[in-house]
Amino acid sequence: MAFNICVNLYVKEVEKEVDFFRSIGFLEIERHKMENSDSVVIAPLSDGNAFLQIWDIEFIKKSHPKLRMINLHYYLQ
């Protein structure tokens, strides 16, 4: 049974994080415009089933306040 896994990363600077993951071999799979920022899906393999989705933390705080209370507790400043 095949399945996909996607881990959400909430960051201050999306492009810096994308650049970092590219530098260690990750590939950009998708890019979505989200108001004043982008959300980027990256993966170690183009045909794999594991992904990271990188979000601007300010966008998440503004647009999903309940998610902020639950999931962003562990965000490191």
Please spell the DSSP secondary structure of 4-23, one letter per residue: -EEEEEEES-HHHHHHHHHH
**55: which 2 tokens?**
């979000």
- The tens digit of pLDDT for each residue in 31-64 reads 999 888 899 999 999 888 999 999 998 888 888 7
Looking at residue 48, what DSSP letter applies?
-
E-strand ranges in 1-77 read 5-11, 27-34, 37-43, 50-56
Residue range 15-30, pLDDT digits in tens: 999 999 999 999 999 9
Residue 31's contacts (CB-CB under 8 Å, 6 or more residues apart) are 38, 39, 40, 41
Q: What is the pTM of this model?
A: 0.80
